[in-house]
Amino acid sequence: MEKEYKATLRLRMSSQDAHYGGNLVDGARMLGLFGDIATELLIQCDGDEGLFRSYDCVDFLAPVYAGDYIEVEGEITKIGNTSRKMKFTAKKVVLPRPDINQSACDILDEPIIVCEATGTCIVPKNKQRK
């Protein structure tokens, strides 16, 4: 692969993202963010949004809570005729500190990896513009 394709997204999990007790965010939210990153990567590579075909592996490694800032990174690792293999990482980079006060937060010295995945996306030949 002659060109690198990478993308990054950072956002705060809101109370609307919380799905379980204790403001725990559903793991599917990370997969949705990986889908957003995949779309950007396909636009970079092919000029088209393409389609997410499958995940090969998904590992949920740490809990995510409302108020956490999550940074999602993705990259294309292999380009086939119509397929694009990708890898994704979601990291917690800012942690709320309600033990101090309601608006206190800490930037983590070492981000906490909360989810990793690999998957395959497809861009049909007739949609590839680059």
Q: For the segment 21-35, what is each residue's pLDDT rounded down to a tens digit?
A: 889 999 999 999 999
* DSSP code, position 26: P
The answer to the question of residue 46 being in a domain is yes
pTM of the model: 0.92
What pLDDT digit, counting tens, does each position of 13-22 carry? 999 999 898 8
The answer to the question of residue 99 being in a domain is yes
The answer to the question of residue 37 being in a domain is yes
The answer to the question of residue 41 being in a domain is yes
The answer to the question of residue 20 being in a domain is yes
Going by DSSP bridges, is the β-strand pair 24-25/18-20 parallel, antiparallel, or unpaired?
antiparallel
Neighbouring C-alpha atoms within 13 Å toward the C-beta of 83:
10
- Provide the token pair at 39: 């779309």
Residue 2 has pLDDT above 90, yes or no: no
What domain range includes position 30? Answer: 6-127
What CATH number has the domain bearing residue 123?
3.10.129.10
The answer to the question of residue 1 being in a domain is no
- In the chain, how many domains are there? 1
The answer to the question of residue 122 being in a domain is yes
CA distances from 7 to 38, 39, 65, 67, 86 (A): 8, 10, 23, 23, 11
Dihedral through CA 36, CA 30, CA 61, CA 77, nearest 10? -10
What pLDDT digit, counting tens, does each position of 82-106 carry? 999 999 999 999 999 989 998 899 9
